[in-house]
Amino acid sequence: MPVDWLGLLLLSGGLLCLLFGFTRAGDVGWTNVVVIGSCLAGIVILMLFVITERRVRWPLVDLALSRNSPFVMGCLSFFLFSAALFGSQPYWSLFMQNTWKFSPLQGGLAFLPATGLIVVLTPLTGLIAQWARHRLYVFIVLAVLVMGLSFLYILVTLTPQSTYAGGLLPTFIMRGLAIPVFVSCATLAVVSAVSTNQSGLASGTLGMARNIGTAFGVAVLSQVYLFHINTTLPSYLATSRAAANQFIVSGAGINRLLVDEVILQGFKLTALACLILCGGAAVCALFMRVRATEKGIKHVVQSEEQSVSV
């Protein structure tokens, strides 16, 4: 099957323009000419992508799948889940290293509880997904709710006096429980929603939704955090504001305490945004209905699970 190079170029270019506009908006504002032009260019290029995919013989994305409700809802749920989870990872690393003064090694080890649970539970959740079949969407919703609960925990409990054990460790444990369940069940649900000869396409589209969702989450959460910092810290703390954009606490006396509190509140606002994204993912999962099909998709599911785990 030939590669749809034109579709690949249009999709990549459209997403690049949109994400560039989202990223630049945090620095120069949404009314900036470059930001507006970049976003409009991204929308136009993506419209051309859709038109192109309707005409080519071997499309990069089969638009006929857009009429498949379980497939669309599954990909959209994966998109929102990835935006919340993987999109928030850079900001958690910055918070631990720049605000809490973790070393790079300590910052990496802080994620180890979640990583360890994912490694241990992924084979088991794969078997659970095979067993669940018609109840897959129930497990997907439960996994998303657990993930949302981890962000809610940050909103409710995190204070300037919090430690890793009491502030972030419980959230990493909840992440480690939710991720393998969601990935296994959502992957099987999406692949089961299409015919056997479209399983590879469904798996590839799901991976694309995950990657685009991650980039979208990083861009959106940066806007949430930077808007809070730039509108909360006064102008006479311009130097501290620039440092706070990188989660660095600077200044002295009362000003330092103010910057520390503003950074913490900004971090909690990103958790609130992730909680909203998880809510959207749960709603999408509720609309999923998996057709009972007996087909050889076990290998496809296992490959997808291994790629996500890595």
**Identity of residue 205:** T
182, 143 Cβ separation under 8 angstroms: yes
If we measure between CA atoms, which residue out of 19, 11, 79, 2 comes closest to residue 50? Answer: 11
Q: What is the model's pLDDT at position 76?
A: 92
The structure tokens listed for 292 are 């009972």
If we measure between CA atoms, which residue out of 145, 126, 86 comes closest to residue 285? Answer: 145
CA geometry: angle 294, 297, 303, nearest 5 deg: 165
Compute the distance between CA of residue 59 and CA of residue 206 in angstroms, rounded to an integer. Answer: 16
Furthest CA-CA distance within the chain = 67
- CA pseudo-torsion sign 220, 30, 27, 48: positive
Q: What is the model's pLDDT at position 44?
A: 93
Q: What is the model's pLDDT at position 279?
A: 94
Over the stretch 192-210, which tens digit does the pLDDT of each residue have? Answer: 888 877 777 788 888 888 8
Compute the distance between CA of residue 85 and CA of residue 96 in angstroms, rounded to an integer. Answer: 16
pTM: 0.83
Compute the distance between CA of residue 15 and CA of residue 45 in angstroms, rounded to an integer. Answer: 9
Which CA distances in Å does 196 have to 25, 95, 219, 242, 247?
43, 45, 35, 53, 48
Residue corresponding to tokens 């479209």: 198
Q: What is the model's pLDDT at position 290?
A: 45
If we measure between CA atoms, which residue out of 190, 185, 192, 217 comes closest to residue 81? Answer: 217
- CA pseudo-torsion sign 182, 188, 189, 190: positive
Q: What is the model's pLDDT at position 289?
A: 61
Q: What is the model's pLDDT at position 26?
A: 63
Residues of the chain with pLDDT under 70: 1, 26-27, 289-310
